Amino acid sequence: MKKQILRSILLLVILAMVASLIPFNSVEAANPTSPKFTLSSAEGTAGSTVTVEVKLNEDTVFEDLTLAVDYDSTKLAVESEDDVILGDNVSDLFGGKSIARAGRVEFQAIDANGEDTFTIKAGKVLTINFKILEGAQGTQALSLKYDTTYTELTTSTIKVIVPITGITLNKTAVELNKGEKETLSATISPENTTENKTITWTSSDNGVATVTDGVITAVGTGTATITATVGDKSANCTVTVKSPMTGIELSQTQVSLVKGQTKTLELKYIPEDTTDSKNVTWQSSDSSVVTVENGVLKALKAGNAKITATVGNYTAEANVTVIEYPLEGIALLADKYEISINETTKIKVITNPENTTDELNLKFISSNEKVAIVDENGVVTGISAGNASITVIANEEYSASVTITVTPEMIEENDPNTEETPETPGDVTGGNNEEEQPTENENTGNEETPAEENTQEETTSVLPKTADIAIGTVLVVMVIAAGVAIFAFKKHKKLNK
């Protein structure tokens, strides 16, 4: 009997164990312990509103669903239930949503048909709008919790961005000498910005100044703008590069000049691209020997002088020697000239030495201006036949003379190479060309050809001038003879007394 009871109890246990393995409905099989949800992250500035999404990664069967998102209510806020938005996949399963508790947004889903289970398809379940409160900084944590036990499924964050509001440089203007360096420092505002703080440095003219990580190098004279840029903010510094003067030089330090000569001294600045004032002052130690104006020397007389150029605190000097060749005499190119009446010639004067440095002052004098005259330039003009002496006086000290012989004007003779047809009586009177026969009265027995008539005319045209000369000569002789006779008569008279 006892054995029978034991066998019955053992059978019941086995049946119970088997029964426990057989599912009675789908609820137990469809009650997952770990649904797969994700919670998105966001970032924004203080005062802005950001959006966070709760998504179901795969289709899932639920008996019921309770979701909660926890946050720090001192840094974040969900201002109204309208900021909690249901996804399309749960819109018909809405059981309730609440933001009544600070720091938590809660959502419950139930089957509207009263079924014990329901299926939610993968997709966006909730969208929550969070406002980042003023003063919030850093990263704010979010926690997605599940079921009434509020088991944490996953977390995410809202990053509070602190934007860059400006950048400043420690200097806005810098003056450098060529070759010098200067380091600029930049300050980004605010200090706790969460944006990228990498600064980009640029120069408006790398030929004037370059910049690397804020270190400026002065390359050449001029002005350049150094710019520091971070994000969309920038700051500038104006750089002026100068080249200070270290000295000056003259193109020559020893100069030889001849009296009356000029020469220009060139001034060189060291360095050539100096930005210092280039105003120069010129001075001669003896302006009676040599003068200087804007670097141009003018030699006045024999001697020595020192020329000084001054620029700022720098000077350069040149020694000048002036030599001269005084006039020692003059000569004329010819000792006599022969010209005709109204003809001109120029007297050429030769100085001794030829390269004299004296200023030449010439005076020309004619001994007989009835025969020849001379102007201040030494141009002689024949007036009448005869001889005259032209004397040249140089600088009231030296003189030389030349004889001028003036001959009568010459009558141009017919060119023997030119054939001329003798004029006929008809040509002279303007009648016909028929030759007129001479009458008996016109013929003297000595017929003359037209050529012979022309010869007589030419001879006759010369005679009056020759006769004038002869008559003049006779008159001069007569005057002299009369004078001698009178002198002899008076002397004879005195002797008789």
pLDDT at 198 over 50: yes
Range of lowest pLDDT (238-242, 245-249, 397-401, 478-482): 478-482
Q: What is the per-residue pLDDT across 350-390, written as a single tens digit (0 to 9) for each?
A: 999 998 988 899 999 999 999 999 999 999 999 999 999 99
Q: Are residues 53 and 156 in the same domain?
A: yes
Q: Binning pLDDT at 50, 70 and 90, where does residue 13 land? A: low
456: in domain: no
pLDDT at 141 over 70: yes
Q: Are residues 268 and 374 in the same domain?
A: no
Backbone angles phi, psi at 351, to 5 degrees: -90, 155
Q: Which residue has the higher pLDDT, 62 or 474?
A: 62
264: in domain: yes
The pLDDT score that the predictor gives to residue 107 is: 87
| CATH number of the domain bearing residue 215 | 2.60.40.1080
Q: Are residues 152 and 175 in the same domain?
A: no
Q: Are residues 276 and 382 in the same domain?
A: no
CA distance 70 to 101: 10
pLDDT at 479 over 60: no
The pLDDT score that the predictor gives to residue 34 is: 63
The mean pLDDT of 394-403, rounded to a whole number, is 94
Mean pLDDT across the chain: 81
Q: What is the per-residue pLDDT across 254-288, written as a single tens digit (0 to 9) for each?
A: 999 999 999 999 999 999 999 999 999 999 999 99
413: in domain: no
The mean pLDDT of 183-196, rounded to a whole number, is 94
Task: Give the CA dihedral 242, 248, 252, 258, nearest 10 degrees.
Answer: 110
Q: Are residues 146 and 64 in the same domain?
A: yes
Spatial contact of 63 and 27, defined as CB atoms under 8 Å apart: yes
The pLDDT score that the predictor gives to residue 457 is: 37
| CATH number of the domain bearing residue 145 | 2.60.40.680
145: in domain: yes
The mean pLDDT of 416-441, rounded to a whole number, is 40
The mean pLDDT of 4-8, rounded to a whole number, is 57
Q: Are residues 340 and 399 in the same domain?
A: yes
pLDDT at 422 over 70: no
The pLDDT score that the predictor gives to residue 108 is: 86
Q: Are residues 227 and 297 in the same domain?
A: no
Which one of 161, 185, 210 terminates a domain?
161
Q: Are residues 109 and 218 in the same domain?
A: no
Q: Which residue has the higher pLDDT, 135 or 305?
A: 305
Q: Are residues 145 and 172 in the same domain?
A: no
77: in domain: yes
pLDDT at 497 over 50: no
CA distance 241 to 210: 11
The pLDDT score that the predictor gives to residue 148 is: 79
Q: Are residues 52 and 154 in the same domain?
A: yes
107: in domain: yes
Q: Are residues 137 and 210 in the same domain?
A: no
The mean pLDDT of 137-151, rounded to a whole number, is 89
pTM summary value: 0.55
% of the chain at pLDDT higher than 90: 61
292: in domain: yes
pLDDT at 7 over 70: no
Spatial contact of 309 and 289, defined as CB atoms under 8 Å apart: no
The pLDDT score that the predictor gives to residue 398 is: 95
Print the domain residue range for 263.
Answer: 247-323
Q: What is the per-residue pLDDT across 203-236, written as a single tens digit (0 to 9) for each?
A: 999 999 999 999 999 999 999 999 999 999 999 9
Name the nearest CA neighbour of 124 among 88, 92, 152, 156: 88
Q: Are residues 42 and 69 in the same domain?
A: yes
Which one of 223, 242, 261 terminates a domain?
242
**Structural domains counted in the chain:** 4
213: in domain: yes
Which one of 133, 161, 189 terminates a domain?
161
